[in-house]
Amino acid sequence: MTKSQNTGIDLDVLLDTPLASIDDFNERAANDTGVDLHLVRADGTKTGVILQVIGEQSERIQAHVFRTINARRREEEIAKRKGKNADIRPIEDDVELTVEKAVISVSGWRGLREEFSEANLRKLFGKNPSFVQQVLEKSADAAAFTPSSSKA
């Protein structure tokens, strides 16, 4: 038996005792839980608008990304089989993909008169590109979706 001189704790028992379970970790579920994002204008001033943002590792966002990429790959494969080169995708397609990912990342809002909807989100994001960036950054912030734990 090896005891810590500082604490008197039996180190052999401590090292042989599991401290956690696989079930203690679930990043996917944590990413499905929305967190508040207080939107700011490009100059840093507060808007008073709060968006509920889900994490990019959530089932919803992952499914959207997979569907989009798979559709693009199918189109390219069909063109290849027909002996055609795949069309060059215009930059507008990438911008649209970025906006759609931001739309999928928001599950609600507070502070706006209009009813929350994907159409209204597209309208808001179309007029305010910096809001799209804020949503994507928040959604990608793994720490924002990591529950604190006293087990550490």
Residue 78 forms part of a structural domain: no
Residue 47 forms part of a structural domain: yes
pLDDT in tens, 33-49: 899 999 999 899 999 99
Residue 56 forms part of a structural domain: yes
Asked if the model's pLDDT at residue 101 lies above 90, the reply is yes
Quote the pTM value.
0.75
Buried b (16+ CB within 10 A) or exposed e, 100-114: bbbbbbbeebeeeee
Residue 76 forms part of a structural domain: no
Q: How confident is the model at residue 132 (pLDDT cuts 50, 70, 90)?
A: very high
Asked if the model's pLDDT at residue 18 lies above 90, the reply is no
Residue 55 forms part of a structural domain: yes
**Residue 127, token pair as written in the block:** 């007029």
Residue 36 forms part of a structural domain: yes
Asked if the model's pLDDT at residue 96 lies above 60, the reply is yes
Residue 121 forms part of a structural domain: yes
58: CB partners within 8 A, 6+ apart: 28, 31, 32
Q: 3-state DSSP call for residue 35?
A: strand
Reported as type and span, the H/E element at residue 95 is: helix 91-104
Question: Into how many domains does the chain fold?
Answer: 1
